[in-house]
Chain A
Amino acid sequence: AQSVTQLGSHVSVSEGALVLLRCNYSSSVPPYLFWYVQYPNQGLQLLLKYTSAATLVKGINGFEAEFKKSETSFHLTKPSAHMSDAAEYFCAVSDNRYKLSFGAGTTVTVRA
């Protein structure tokens, strides 16, 4: 079964600093990978998805992720953090059986 591992359950950054969230996947074939964000008391919102068209994927709210097959990674970055980026972020992989497998999540706090 495919799975993802998110390194770091909690990340704290200063406003204006780089946000880097790490995700590694285990897959024997090129996977479909996603990043979702969850704000308090809300569902998950899609940030971006990788579907093999391009290794650098741009998403909403200034986020982007780079697919690196050699490192089996799909890290999420944002050059300059904003207070509104405080949320929980989930990396997910699709297993072609109509479901997503999610990582444990990384909570981002932004310091003023």
Chain B
Amino acid sequence: KAGVTQTPRYLIKTRGQQVTLSCSPISGHRSVSWYQQTPGQGLQFLFEYFSETQRNKGNFPGRFSGRQFSNSRSEMNVSTLELGDSALYLCASSSTGVANSPLHFGNGTRLTVT
């Protein structure tokens, strides 16, 4: 079974631009969540989607948004990029997203904002 696929692996953007990251979950998984990983803040939850509905959102500004499509694929968008948005963005999928359902992570998208 193929794992979680994130594209692209690396991105370099300039302040003020916007970026879209893509995630394809494991086949059959309907829950997709996104995390931001930085050396200073560690792993922080961005949002979770199940069957195209956002069920939870982390404490991030409105510049961070996401969506999920009917085939469970997900995208996240960051508008008006800031230097502090430089991070590894990790997508994870699970069958249900509930508490005891482990997350399966992709290899991430490394975003650098200059």
Q: Which residues of A contact B (CB under 8 A)?
A: 32, 34, 36, 41-46, 49, 51, 90, 94-105
Contacts and interface: CB of A to CB of B under 8 A. Distances in A.
Contact of B33 (A96, A99, A103): A99
B55 A46 contact: no
Interface residues of B, number: 25
A98 B43 contact: no
B105 A98 contact: no
Contact of B99 (A36, A43, A95): A95
Given A98-B48, A98-B55, A45 B105 contact: yes
Interface of B: 4, 6, 31, 33, 42-43, 45, 48, 50, 55-56, 58, 90, 92, 97-100, 102-108
B97 A42 contact: no
Contacts of B31: 98
B44 to A, nearest CB: 8
B56 A51 contact: no
A102 B43 CA distance: 6
Contacts of A96: 98-99
A98 B47 CA distance: 9
B90 A43 contact: yes
Given A46-B104, A98-B33, A90 B43 contact: yes
Contacts of B102: 34, 46, 49
A44 B100 contact: no
Nearest to A94: B99
B108 A32 contact: no
A32 B105 contact: no
B105 A99 contact: no
Contacts of B108: 42-43
18 contacts: A32-B100, A43-B6, A43-B92, A43-B105, A43-B106, A43-B108, A44-B103, A45-B105, A94-B100, A96-B98, A96-B99, A97-B55, A97-B56, A98-B48, A98-B55, A98-B56, A99-B33, A101-B45
